Amino acid sequence: MTLSLFDLSGRRALVTGSSQGIGLALARGLAGAGAGVVLNGRDRSKLEIAAAEIPGAHRLAFDAADHAAARAAIDGFEARIGPIDILVNNAGMQFRGPLEDFPEDAFQRLLQTNIASVFNVGQACARHMIARKSGKIINIASVQTALARPGIAPYTATKGAVGNLTKGMATDWAQHGLQVNAIAPGYFETPLNAALVADAAFSAWLEKRTPAGRWGKVEELVGACVFLASNASSFVNGHVLYVDGGITASL
């Protein structure tokens, strides 16, 4: 009985930005829990490669930062294939640089990719979920939702916004039967962090700063995602779940 709370059989999950990294790992994990998976990204060739790893996965190529494109893609998928029961808003980007010299165009790209995409895809899916009185939305936040680090102030701002947008979505949509929560990863070995992983000095600092003493592995995010996507979290709403090796718990 208890394990059945985590069973996702018969449900379909859309994971944005899932051609690599955290998104692909979460898509694999949701499929392993029984869900049908819809992979998303802008690069169709990357999606094809990723889909080969997950039998039966659908591919839905669109730019999550484009409101009209996201709405058209999701409405079209629901009409042609069927409902999206679970949404994981994972699409995101990073740009590092001193705040006083930070390029304005890079700042705008961060806003569109990291915040607007959550609104765009979240709204498009929620319209259908509300009609069904059921749905799960999981937004990918960050340890930077709570903490700042030099050189990434705009990224920190976007991830703080994701945390509060999650709370706002839950506040508006819980009455319609939706649960909206966020996962806030700490430092994980991903393509987005490749430069930091390769930086011996940074890795040494991180291992000392993190109580667990190491980088996270993307597979370690799967349990949190399955929990928030399943019936096990039926009364969890507007929560930001930090999966960070203890870094936000310690000075």
Rounded distance between C-alpha atoms, residue 87 and residue 192, angstroms: 21
In the set 107, 155, 173, 188, the catalytic residue is: 155
Inter-residue contact 5 to 32 (CB < 8 Å):
no
- Token duo for residue 123: 């709204």
Residue 155 annotated in active site: yes
Q: What type of residue is 234?
A: S
Tell which residue, 239, 247, 22, has the closest CA to residue 148.
247
Residue 199, φ and ψ in degrees, nearest 5: -90, 105
- Token duo for residue 193: 């962090």
Label residue 187 exposed, middle or buried (CB < 10 Å: 0-12, 13-18, 19+): buried
Rounded distance between C-alpha atoms, residue 13 and residue 4, angstroms: 18
Half-sphere exposure of 241 (CA within 13 A, CB side): 21
SS3 151: coil
User: Which helix (DSSP H) or strand (DSSP E) does residue 179 occupy?
Assistant: strand 178-185
Tell which residue, 26, 67, 21, has the closest CA to residue 46.
21
CA angle 244–250–251, rounded 5-degree value: 130
Active site members: 155
